[in-house]
Amino acid sequence: TARIGVMALQGAFREHRAALDRLGAQVTEVRLAADLDGLHGLILPGGESTTMARLMSEYALWEPLRAFHARGGQLWGTCAGAILLSREVQGAPPQFGRQDSLGLLDVTVQRNAFGRQIDSFTTGLDVQGLNGAFPAVFIRAPAFARVGDGVEVLAEYEAQAVGVRQGRVLATAFHPELTGDDRLHDLFLQGCLTPA
What 8-state DSSP symbol labels residue 118? T
Q: Which stretch binds ligand GLN (CB under 6 A): 26-34, 45-53, 56-64, 128-136?
A: 45-53
Exposure b/e, 25-58, CB count within 10 A at least 16 = b: bebbebeebebbeebbbbbbbbbebbebbebbee
Q: Which is nearer to ligand GLN, 80 or 85 (CB)?
A: 80
User: Does 79 engage in binding with ligand GLN (CB under 6 A)?
Assistant: yes
Residue 10 Cβ vs ligand GLN, minimum distance, rounded to whole Å:
10
How many Cβ atoms sit within 10 Å of the Cβ of residue 62?
Answer: 16
Q: Which stretch binds ligand GLN (CB under 6 A): 27-35, 41-49, 122-130, 154-162?
A: 41-49
Alpha-carbon gap, residue 186 to 182, rounded angstroms: 6
User: Does 46 engage in binding with ligand GLN (CB under 6 A)?
Assistant: yes
Residues making contact with ligand GLN (CB under 6 A): 46-49, 79-80, 83, 111-112, 139-140
